Amino acid sequence: MEELGTAIRAARAQKGLSLRAVAAAADISPSLLSQVETGKTQPSVGTLYAIVNVLEVSIDELMGMPQRVAQPDAASDEHATITANPVQRQADNPTIVMENGVKWERLAVDGTGLVDALLTTYEPGSSSSVEGKLMRHSGIEYGYVIDGEITLRLDFDEHVLRPGDSVCFDSRRPHLYENRTDRVAQGLWFVLGRAQATAPGDPSERYTSAVDVLSALGRLPVPAEHLSNLRIP
């Protein structure tokens, strides 16, 4: 978590924003932002969304997540442009444990940014937002419950998901995951098309995918000149 806090602080400094200004815009306290930046506390998913949206950077770029590399003589071959290692060992899974007992492990990806693969673990009583706020992001979300029970709040409806149950919905729809039981729950999640840009001029669509967080641990901030102001849906 210290690497993530360092990257957030670097992005804030690169934009010339004060800690109080970012905290106010993100609707959190300056002390909480300070603790996140110094690695003294873990942000909730909602808090991290708010901070990143104010800074207008993607966590993929912020934390230097490797991207697809094209071969010089293979521009016409889409498959040849993917150079990511086809095998990723469990010990190498980028992992982050959020404030409320939700753990994400990013599974093997091809570096194109088209698909996010995620192993999620929800401790008893945990949820994807401590504040209970429903969130949304770009892409189509696919989920499959492996063990335990997860409650999905989607728009105004609730769906209890048990082992073998699966979901698929437009991730721009407000949603929230909760484990309301006394048993650990785990599932596989895939988000397709997360990297799509939203229509310009629509501030309501400025969100960052939760799975972006998976690249956080063990990575250093990219050079300031590589940071770009993005509108992430």
How many structural domains are present in the chain? 1
Q: Does residue 37 lie within any of the structural domains?
A: yes
- 221 φ, ψ to 5°? -60, 145
Q: Does residue 73 lie within any of the structural domains?
A: no
Given pLDDT bands bounded at 50, 70 and 90, which one contains residue 58? Answer: low
What's 151's DSSP letter? E
Q: Does residue 49 lie within any of the structural domains?
A: yes
Q: Does residue 79 lie within any of the structural domains?
A: no
Rounded CA-CA distance 160/44 in Å is 22
pLDDT in tens, 143-155: 999 999 999 999 9
Check which CATH number belongs to the domain holding 146 and give it: 2.60.120.10
pLDDT reading at 206 higher than 50: no
Greater pLDDT, 164 or 130: 164
pLDDT in tens, 3-15: 778 888 998 999 9
- What's the chain's length in residues? 233
Q: Does residue 76 lie within any of the structural domains?
A: no
Q: Report pLDDT for 32.
A: 92
Greater pLDDT, 21 or 208: 21
pLDDT reading at 185 higher than 80: yes
Rounded CA-CA distance 212/10 in Å is 18
Q: Does residue 95 lie within any of the structural domains?
A: yes
Average pLDDT of the segment spanning 39-47: 78
Q: Report pLDDT for 53.
A: 76
Q: Does residue 194 lie within any of the structural domains?
A: yes
> What tokens were used for 227?
């940071």
Q: Report pLDDT for 194.
A: 54
pLDDT in tens, 92-150: 887 777 777 888 788 887 766 677 788 999 999 998 877 788 877 667 999 999 999 99
Sheet holding 150-154, edge to edge: 157-161, 150-154, 175-178
Residues 185, 122 contacting (CB under 8 angstroms): yes
> What tokens were used for 35?
């603790």
Instruction: Please give the share of the chain, as a percent, with pLDDT higher than 70.
Output: 67
Residues 82, 112 contacting (CB under 8 angstroms): yes
Q: Does residue 75 lie within any of the structural domains?
A: no
- What domain range includes position 102? 2-67+84-226
> Which residue from 221, 230, 226, 225 is spatially nearest to 7, judged by alpha carbons?
221
pTM of the predicted model as reported, rounded to 2 decimal places:
0.66
Q: Report pLDDT for 92.
A: 83
CA 41, chain centre distance (Å): 17
Given pLDDT bands bounded at 50, 70 and 90, which one contains residue 170? Answer: very high
pLDDT reading at 209 higher than 70: no
Q: What is the mean pLDDT of the chain?
A: 74
pLDDT in tens, 59-89: 555 444 544 444 444 444 555 455 567 888 9
